[in-house]
Amino acid sequence: MKSLSNIQTFVRVAEVESFAKASNVLGLSTSAVSKAVARLEADLGVKLFHRTTRSVNLTPDGSRFYEGCQQLLIEFEALTAEVQGNKATPQGRLTVSVSPAFGRICVVPLLKAFTQTFPAITLDISMDDRAVDLAAEGIDIVLRTGQLSDSANLIASRLVAYPMGICGSPDYFDQHGEPHHPDELAEHVCLNFRNRDTGRLYPWMFHVAGEQKTYSGSGTVVLDNADAVVRSAIAGLGISQMPLFLAKDAIAAGTLVEVLRPYRPPEIPIWICYLDRRFVATRIRAFVEFMTDQKETFIERCAV
């Protein structure tokens, strides 16, 4: 079992290309990770990694060994699951990445019920809008917004689609008037949202005359956080497109007003994703099934 532990450590280092990152994923010290790989290299009599102060890369022998170890661990986990059958209790550390806005409003309120149902699972949740590489970063599950462009190696299930709307403060509209058609956006101060990964501004999309059309929002403020967009609109900096589940409390309080409602932008889907593998750990299945069972809750919280 010690050799198996060393192999598991080696595979994680190879996936994230870093002893430090692997130590965070495995919950071990960097020294312990380094020693485990060194013991494995000594047992095999080969060098598995090229190490420098800035990078860790597989040697040719390391690459061949890594490919074989991946299959070995998959088979081992599958065999363990088969032997344990339904007796296996979901347990261990579960890493989840979710966007801050959806996480705060929709996911966090459900975590108490999840931890009470699965007390042996330790949740490690990162709230970040960036795109993540599940295998390279050691992340078990990601909740992604929008269309999936890299779903080839993922199992993806749609949880909910939330409505978008164009909103601004009453003070802003008192000064600038309300737009009545997307063509009038050019006459307004628009708060634009930037994709952190691509650096591009999200397009302003509307349903016009039965078709989906794209417009440009002109303005002097660009933000890359959905909560910041809502706060900026409330402060009267301009108008913006935003998830309405973030804006509905402000709309109810009268600090935001939705405009261009007949032309509302397309709804945005939320997906729960995990790596497509022959064996999926019980802790991953438990979280995915739990969240999937909460679809009605998500729909209610995203509704306007």
- pLDDT band per the 50, 70, 90 thresholds, residue 146: confident
1-19: average pLDDT: 85
123-130: average pLDDT: 86
Per-residue pLDDT reduced to its tens digit, 203-253: 899 999 888 999 878 888 899 888 999 999 999 999 999 999 999 999 999
Give the chain's length: 304
> 157-190 as b/e, with b when 16 or more CB fall inside 10 Å?
eebbebbbbbbbbeebbeeeeebeebeebeebbb
| Res. 16: pLDDT tops 70 | yes
Q: Domain check: are 139 and 190 in the same one? A: no
Task: Kindly report the CATH number assigned to the domain that includes residue 257.
Answer: 3.40.190.290
Residue 258's CB is within 10 A of a number of other CB atoms, namely 19
Q: Domain check: are 133 and 215 in the same one? A: no
Last residue of a domain, one of 41, 56, 86: 86
Taking the C-alpha atoms of residue 151 and residue 133, their distance in angstroms, rounded to an integer, is 11
Q: Quote the pLDDT of residue 163.
A: 93
Q: Quote the pLDDT of residue 29.
A: 92
Q: Domain check: are 99 and 148 in the same one? A: yes
Q: Domain check: are 274 and 157 in the same one? A: yes
Q: Domain check: are 68 and 117 in the same one? A: no
Q: Which of 102, 80, 92 is nearest to 4 (CA)?
A: 80
Q: Domain check: are 184 and 158 in the same one? A: no
Percent of the chain with pLDDT over 70: 93
Last residue of a domain, one of 37, 65, 86: 86
Handedness of CA 132, 57, 2, 36 (dihedral sign): negative
26-36: average pLDDT: 91
How many domains in the chain? 3
Q: Which of 13, 27, 28, 22 is nearest to 65 (CA)?
A: 13
Q: Quote the pLDDT of residue 280.
A: 77
Q: Domain check: are 245 and 225 in the same one? A: yes
Contacts for 192 with CB less than 8 Å, ≥ 6 apart: 201, 202, 217, 219, 221, 222, 223, 240
Q: Domain check: are 133 and 207 in the same one? A: no
Task: Answer yes or no: are the C-beta atoms of 219 and 190 closer than 8 Å.
Answer: yes
Taking the C-alpha atoms of residue 296 and residue 116, their distance in angstroms, rounded to an integer, is 20
Task: Kindly report the CATH number assigned to the domain that includes residue 24.
Answer: 1.10.10.10
Q: Domain check: are 20 and 148 in the same one? A: no
- pLDDT band per the 50, 70, 90 thresholds, residue 145: confident
Q: Domain check: are 257 and 168 in the same one? A: yes
Q: Domain check: are 201 and 256 in the same one? A: yes
Q: Alpha helices of the chain — where are they, by DSSP H?
A: 2-16, 19-26, 30-44, 60-84, 100-102, 108-117, 134-137, 170-176, 226-234, 244-253, 282-292, 295-302
Q: Quote the pLDDT of residue 300.
A: 87
Query: pTM here?
Result: 0.71
Contacts for 179 with CB less than 8 Å, ≥ 6 apart: 166, 185, 187, 188, 239, 259, 260
| Res. 150: pLDDT tops 80 | no
Residue 14's CB is within 10 A of a number of other CB atoms, namely 22
Q: Residue 46 is part of which domain span?
A: 2-86
* Range ranked top by mean pLDDT from 32-46, 184-198, 212-226: 32-46
Q: Domain check: are 51 and 200 in the same one? A: no
Task: Kindly report the CATH number assigned to the domain that includes residue 109.
Answer: 3.40.190.10
- Round to the nearest angstrom and report the end-to-end CA distance of the chain: 54
Contacts for 45 with CB less than 8 Å, ≥ 6 apart: none
- pLDDT band per the 50, 70, 90 thresholds, residue 90: confident
- pLDDT band per the 50, 70, 90 thresholds, residue 151: low
